[in-house]
Structure 1
């Protein structure tokens, strides 16, 4: 369980770093990328541990590193998608309001 705790904490940190580095981070909350990173990282860790990769010699690093990397990648993907779509939707709503 210690490895899951470390994976979750590292994924939260990666999610907050992704949020802080996004120029459109005012369009969504700070917890969104962190939450996406935690969910992706924890699910990856659970799958890898259930598959038995946690206790194989030479593959012990896999449930430690891969969930953190996939969590950060999922946070980046969520931020890219949501940042663009929210900016586009906000522009459309503002345009509709100004045309009235």
Structure 2
């Protein structure tokens, strides 16, 4: 259970770091990348334990490292997608409002 707590804390931190470094972070909330990172990290931790990768000699690092890496990657992907899509949508809405 301790490994899940560490995964959650590390992925939340990674999500906040991703949000802070995204130049379009004003287009979406601060909790979006952190939430995506935690959700993916927790699900991958559960999957790792269910398929037997945890608590076996030589494989004990996988449920610790893999969920953090996957959660961080999902956070980056969500920030890139949402940042660009929301910024584009906001510019289009502002342009349409200014044309009236």
| TM-score of the superposed pair, with normalisation by structure 2 | 0.98
Aligned residue pairs, count: 100
Report the counterpart of residue 11 of structure 1 in structure 2: 11
Which segments of 5 or more consecutive residues in structure 1 lack a partner in the other structure?
Answer: none
Which segments of 5 or more consecutive residues in structure 2 lack a partner in the other structure?
Answer: none
Inter-partner Cα distance in structure 1 for 2:28 and 2:90: 12
- Secondary structure of residue in 2 paired with 1:79: helix
Inter-partner Cα distance in structure 2 for 1:3 and 1:55: 11
| Moved beyond 4 Å, runs of 4+ | none
Could you give the per-residue CA deviations for residues 14-38 of structure 1, whole angstroms, max 9, x where no partner exists? 0000001111111111100000000
Inter-partner Cα distance in structure 2 for 1:82 and 1:39: 17
Inter-partner Cα distance in structure 1 for 2:36 and 2:55: 27
